[in-house]
């Protein structure tokens, strides 16, 4: 049975490697990145396997996980998605050192096939929305921008870039420069792109590495990461293009391509986790601000003797109070939206385990 599982795992790995060439040689690269945005915590191999077997998958889990964690049942007759699971193991081995037999503990990872199903293949209790779509208003973009900006140690500034570039990264100065006057979504896309350059490519520039990553590889890695992160947060990605993709992929061996995809996946996952942590901090600050404002409002309340007021003053008084209540309600709504966003993130993290 173990040999059978091992052979099946090798077959799945082979399928994943063949899948890389398939979507690079077609127009499905964006579709693959969309799958990666949904499954950024998964390995590249498993992301490819999910994409090949069910390109529209949004959330997968095992048969028992759907029942126990989500109170959902896999529909009769559904075909499972095969991915690769891993389990750490320890075993004792005997070795000869200096003519003496010694026992050592060896650690490793065993791989085995795992059957999972997409949420669309199940019925039951509703799930929380799994993709954190960003509302198209300034306050949300402002919070996301600051959360992204705080995810890098590089200084971020704006300038009127004459060359036509949307932004650039200066590794030696630890600086990222973004073009002025762009739309909010384009600013966010560009910032993620340049942070990826800072994270993945700055050190080799600083160290003057002879075997640097090629320009094509850098751009594909940065733009692909930006696509995955933007797609994850519901930012419009329809205008994305990958002009270096064909030349880049045609000159690479399979192992090199896979290594780049692993860099993209790890960078996207790292950025999403950093951004989420920063967004949670922003939420806590907003909760504190609203609480303090409410407390101050209560302190400032002075109740006049309404019975002694002329009728016109009474009407004005009640109108002011109504306006004040509406303002408090608006603040509460903003806070509830952020709380809802945070709760969805926590449920999403739990679902990914």
81 in Cβ contact with 60 (< 8 Å): yes
Residue from 74, 81, 70 nearest 121 by CA: 74
d(CA 331, CA 293): 10
192 in Cβ contact with 204 (< 8 Å): no
Residue from 319, 328, 343 nearest 294 by CA: 328
66 in Cβ contact with 93 (< 8 Å): no
Residue, of 67 and 17, whose pLDDT is higher: 67
Q: Give a three-class secondary structure readout of 173-201.
A: HCEEEEECCCCHHHHHHHHHHHHHHHHHC
- Averaged pLDDT of the chain: 80
Instruction: Please check the confidence at residue 23 and state whether its pLDDT lies above 60.
Output: yes
Structure tokens that stand for 162 in this block: 């004459």
pLDDT digits (tens, 9 = 90+) for 99-117: 788 888 888 787 889 999 9
Secondary structure letter of residue 166 according to DSSP: S
Residue from 200, 349, 352 nearest 262 by CA: 200
d(CA 254, CA 259): 9
Top mean-pLDDT range of 17-31, 226-240, 289-303: 226-240
DSSP strands (E only) in the chain: 60-61, 72-74, 81-97, 100-118, 122-124, 155-159, 167-170, 175-179
Position 157 scores a pLDDT of 95
Percent of the chain with pLDDT over 70: 76
Instruction: Please check the confidence at residue 46 and state whether its pLDDT lies above 50.
Output: yes
pLDDT digits (tens, 9 = 90+) for 278-337: 988 887 887 777 777 766 766 665 656 666 666 666 666 666 766 766 676 666 666 666
Return the SS3 of 48: helix
d(CA 281, CA 9): 41
Residue, of 107 and 345, whose pLDDT is higher: 107
Position 306 scores a pLDDT of 60
Position 131 scores a pLDDT of 39
Residue 106, Cβ neighbours under 10 Å: how many? 10
Structure tokens that stand for 191 in this block: 């910032």
pLDDT digits (tens, 9 = 90+) for 161-184: 988 889 999 988 999 999 998 888
Structure tokens that stand for 229 in this block: 């992160």
DSSP codes joined into one string, 298-342: HHH-----GGGS-HHHHHHHHHHHHHHHHHHHHHHHHHHHHHHHH
Positive or negative CA dihedral for 65, 69, 73, 78?
negative
Beta 167-170 vs 122-124: how paired, if at all?
Answer: unpaired
């Amino acid at each position: 049975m173990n040999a059978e599982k091992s052979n099946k795992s090798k077959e799945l790995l082979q399928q994943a490697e063949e899948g890389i060439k398939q979507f690079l040689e077609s127009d499905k690269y964006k579709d693959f990145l969309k799958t990666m945005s949904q499954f950024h915590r998964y390995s590249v191999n498993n992301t490819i396997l999910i994409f090949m077997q069910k390109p529209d998958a949004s959330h997968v889990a095992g048969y028992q996980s759907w029942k126990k964690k989500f109170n959902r049942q896999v529909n009769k007759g559904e075909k499972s998605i095969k991915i690769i699971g891993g389990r750490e193991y320890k075993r004792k081995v005997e070795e000869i050192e200096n003519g003496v037999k010694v026992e050592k503990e060896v650690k490793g990872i065993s791989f085995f096939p795992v059957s999972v199903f997409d949420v669309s293949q199940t019925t039951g209790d509703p799930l929380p929305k799994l993709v954190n779509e960003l509302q198209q208003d300034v306050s949300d973009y402002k919070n996301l921008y600051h959360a992204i900006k705080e995810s890098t140690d590089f200084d971020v500034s704006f300038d009127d870039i004459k060359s036509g570039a949307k932004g650039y990264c200066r590794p030696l100065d630890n600086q990222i420069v973004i073009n002025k006057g762009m739309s909010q979504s384009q600013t966010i896309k560009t910032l993620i792109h340049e942070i990826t350059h800072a994270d993945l490519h700055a050190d080799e520039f600083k160290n003057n590495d002879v075997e640097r990553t090629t320009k094509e590889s850098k751009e594909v890695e940065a733009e692909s990461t930006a696509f995955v992160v933007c797609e994850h947060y519901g930012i419009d990605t329809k205008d994305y293009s990958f002009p270096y993709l064909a030349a880049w992929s045609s000159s690479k061996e399979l192992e090199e391509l896979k290594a780049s995809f692993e860099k993209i996946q790890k960078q996207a996952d790292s950025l999403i986790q950093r951004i989420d942590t920063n967004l949670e901090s922003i939420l806590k600050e907003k909760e504190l601000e609203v609480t303090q404002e409410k407390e101050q409002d209560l302190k400032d309340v002075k109740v006049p003797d309404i019975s002694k007021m002329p009728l016109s003053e009474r009407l004005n008084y009640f109108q002011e109070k109504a306006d004040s209540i509406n303002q408090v309600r608006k603040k509460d709504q903003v806070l509830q939206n952020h709380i809802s966003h945070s709760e969805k993130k926590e449920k999403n993290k739990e679902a990914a385990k």
